[in-house]
Amino acid sequence: MNIHRDSKIVSCTTDGFISNKENLDKIEPNPTDVFSSLYFNMRRKLTGKGELLEMKYNEPKGVISWRTRGQLGLSGGIKALTGYQRNEEIEQTIKKVDGAMKTTKVIPYIQKSLRSAKDIFLKGGHSTQVFSERNFNLKFDNRREVTIEHDTYTETKPFFSCNASKQARLISSFGSGRFRVYSPISSTQCRGDAYLYLTRRMLVRVIKMELPFLKRWEVALVMKDLGVPCTLNFISKQKERKPIFNSIPHTQKTLEILKNFKMKYPGFNIDQFLRI
């Protein structure tokens, strides 16, 4: 890291780092530096390449970075989003990250997995899919000191002392927790109706968001007509939650429900909610 006196390091992990220093792959080891010379010679013996450092990717537009393993290149070449590996266009991901940075610092999404072996053993049934709601966290973790405040983004530098670092980390831990929220699956998940549970939740949230004046019993009647009935308590739980786009799997039954919902509410966009 001593080569970076005239440049910046954005992030550093075990096998690489992000920097704005030019001509990184042209740097030669200093003969007086034992470690860099040893590394350079060993690399040349193993690979045949006379390089101290290898350039992986050159990002021409810029990088959004919020923690060690949280970076997103504006051209799409850098995509370190541990915990959020979604099958979507890079432009859509950039839009979500930029929007979250300016607002809540979280991106809600649906995580798809299979029932655990333990759950199948205890409750019976088959290896069906499970859908859990998650929030991808983009909040700053206070591992570095903020030096320049902007409207949305910031510049940082290493802490000067251990005490200042400990204090900042303690502050960042207040109110934090695992961002796993209300699980869409109950003990009936072995029947394989997880798709319908997820569809029901999203549609209740759409109704509550677009028609907040409707009473709970009125929403319950709408859901009953769609063939996915729910209790008044269930509707109350969805009141403060926002619908998640591209979350509902495309099956014959879910598509039928969505089409019936659109007949009741013509302004509803089916494609906006179908999982990509």
Q: Are residues 143 and 114 in the same domain?
A: yes
pLDDT tens string 30-73: 878 888 888 888 988 998 887 888 888 888 888 888 877 788 89
Residues 241 and 204 both lie in one domain: yes
Burial class (CB in 10 A: 0-12, 13-18, 19+), 255: middle
Q: Does 85 share its domain with 168?
A: yes
Report yes or no on 276 lying in a domain. Answer: no
Res 152: pLDDT: 58
Number of domains in the chain: 3
Q: Which of 76-80, 166-170, 186-190, 225-229 has the lowest mean pLDDT?
A: 186-190
> Which residues contact residue 74 at a Cβ distance below 8 angstroms, ignoring those fewer than 6 apart?
59, 61, 62, 63, 64, 94
Same domain, 191 and 168: no
pTM assigned to the model? 0.68
In single-letter form, the type of residue at position 27 comes to: I
Identify the domain containing residue 247 by its residue range: 187-264
> Beta strands of the chain (E only): which ranges?
9-13, 16-19, 63-67, 70-73, 79-81, 106-114, 129-137, 145-149, 154-157
144 & 241 share domain: no
DSSP code, position 5: G
Tell me which of 218 and 6 has the higher pLDDT.
218
Contact 128, 145 (CB under 8 A): no
In a domain, residue 274? The reply is no
With cut-offs at 50, 70 and 90, classify the pLDDT of residue 153.
Answer: low
Contact 75/59 with Cβ under 8 angstroms? yes
Task: Give the model's confidence band at 269: pLDDT under 50 very low, under 70 low, under 90 confident, else very high.
Answer: very high
Is residue 53 in some structural domain? no
- Does residue 275 form part of some domain? no
The answer, yes or no, to whether residue 192 has pLDDT greater than 60, is no
